[in-house]
């Protein structure tokens, strides 16, 4: 049990560090993340370039810092796009039941039946390339899972004895919803929002990696991993830094979500 506590602390620290580094990128960066320097191509890590330079001679360290900001911005937008409709559909299905529930959930199942990345790619065929388009595509692909979790949480909350009791003594439905159901379902939904965030980071970076980000010069972990793939035979550091940053971020968010889930359950 102690280990869980340690893990949560590690995750909290790690998450805080990543956020701070991204926020302070303009102060911490040593180079312009977009400035190419043809004379300094693919240099190994050194004093001048902490994590080395990429194919165009850009400083990998500065690009990783700025990449964090971009990655977080896109991922947060993705989560916002997922959460609104996901909560609405899930709550509506869980609260009403009957044919509304059946209809909404069949619709969600239909969306869920297509792998998220395939669905997001199909949406990109419609929307075109770009960061906002990626956030929209991944966000929409995330809606069915969030709706399912919301519905399950609402159903579970409605079956709680104290909510049954509130209904039995004649409390108004709106009052029950705000005072009893919302506090009950908030923790699991928050934990799943965390899972959605790390999922959004992985999938939006995947689409950027595949070349749908619109801006191929941007300091972005997905772009950098794609650049690193071109150069890995001679310069593995180009992919190493953004890859480690991405994995640590996702790991931290997953463990934080885990911790929230564990602490608030029951």
Partner 1 sequence: MLPFLARRGAMALAVVWLAASLSFVALRWAPGDALDATMARAGASEAQIDAQRAGLGLDDPLPIQYGRYWLDVARGRWGVSLVTGQPVLELIAQNARPTLTLALAALGVALALGVTLGVMDGLGRPAALRWAAGGLAALALATPVYWTSTLAIYTFTVALNLLPGVGGSGPRAVILPGLVLGFHTAGSIARVTAASVRDAARGDFVRTARAKGLPEHDVIDHILRVGLLPVVSVVALQAGFLLGGTVITEMIFVRRGLGQVLLAAVTNRDYPVVQGLVILAALVYTTLNAGADALYHRLDPRTRREG
Which stretches of the chain bind partner 1, using CB under 8 A? 3, 106-107, 109-119, 121-126, 198, 202, 205-206, 209-212, 222, 225-226, 228-229, 232-233, 236, 239-240, 242-243, 246-248, 250-251, 254-255
Q: Least Å distance between CB 73 and partner 1?
A: 19
The gap from C-alpha 206 to its chain's centroid, in whole angstroms, comes to: 12
Reference 186, options 147, 157, 214, 229; nearest CA is 157
For partner 1, give the closer residue by CB, 61 or 209.
Answer: 209
Please tell me the distance from the alpha carbon of residue 109 to that of residue 114, in angstroms, as a whole number: 9
Minimum Å distance from CB 206 to partner 1? 6
Rank residues 146 and 180 by Cβ distance to partner 1 and give the closer one.
146
Task: Give the three-class secondary structure for 59.
Answer: strand
Q: Cβ 177 to partner 1, closest distance in Å?
A: 29
**In Å, what is the CA distance from 262 to each residue of 154, 171, 188, 252, 257?**
19, 31, 9, 15, 9
Closest CB to partner 1 among 163 and 246? 246
* Contact between 149 and 188 (Cβ < 8 Å): yes
Cα(115)–Cα(64) distance, rounded to whole angstroms? 29
Q: How far is residue 71's CA from residue 87's CA, in Å, rounded to a whole number?
A: 24
| C-alpha closest to that of 194 among 146, 144, 145, 256 | 256
Burial class (CB in 10 A: 0-12, 13-18, 19+), 95: middle
- Name the minimum Å distance from CB 187 to partner 1: 17
CB nearer partner 1, residue 30 or residue 230: 230
Q: Radius of gyration (Cα) for the chain, nearest Å? A: 22
Q: Which two tokens stand for residue 252?
A: 């931290």
In angstroms, what is the minimal distance from the CB of 252 to partner 1? 9
Nearer to partner 1, 40 or 238 (CB): 238
Closest separation between CB of residue 108 and partner 1, Å? 10
Give residues with Cβ within 8 angstroms of 71, minimum separation 6: 201, 204, 205, 220, 221, 222, 246, 249
Of 32 and 72, the one with the shorter C-beta distance to partner 1 is 72
The distance of closest approach from Cβ of residue 97 to partner 1 in the complex, given in angstroms and rounded to an integer, is 17
Q: Which is nearer to partner 1, 189 or 208 (CB)?
A: 208
């Amino acid at each position: 049990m102690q280990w869980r506590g340690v893990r949560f602390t590690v995750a909290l620290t790690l998450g805080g560090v990543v956020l701070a580094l991204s926020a302070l990128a303009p102060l911490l960066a040593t180079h312009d993340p977009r400035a190419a320097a043809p004379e300094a191509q693919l240099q190994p890590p050194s004093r001048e370039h902490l994590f080395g330079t990429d194919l165009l001679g850009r400083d990998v360290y500065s690009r990783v810092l700025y990449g964090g900001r971009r990655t977080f911005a896109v991922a947060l937008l993705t989560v916002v796009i997922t959460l609104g409709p996901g909560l609405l559909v899930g709550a509506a299905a869980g609260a009403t039941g009957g044919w509304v529930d059946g209809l909404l959930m069949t619709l969600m199942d239909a969306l869920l039946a297509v792998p998220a990345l395939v669905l997001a790619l199909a949406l990109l065929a419609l929307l075109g390339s770009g960061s906002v388009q990626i956030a929209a595509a991944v966000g929409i692909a995330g809606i069915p899972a969030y709706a399912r979790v919301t519905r399950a949480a609402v159903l579970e909350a409605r079956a709680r004895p104290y909510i049954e009791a509130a209904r039995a003594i004649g409390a108004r439905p709106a009052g029950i919803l705000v005072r009893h159901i919302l506090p009950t379902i908030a923790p699991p939904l928050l934990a799943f929002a965390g899972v959605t965030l790390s999922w959004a980071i992985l999938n939006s970076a995947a689409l950027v990696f595949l070349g749908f980000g619109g801006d191929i010069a941007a300091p972005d972990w997905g772009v950098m991993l794609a650049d690193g793939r071109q150069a890995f035979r001679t310069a593995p550091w180009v992919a190493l830094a953004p890859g480690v940053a991405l994995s640590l971020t996702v790991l931290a968010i997953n463990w934080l979500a885990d911790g929230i889930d564990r602490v608030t359950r029951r």
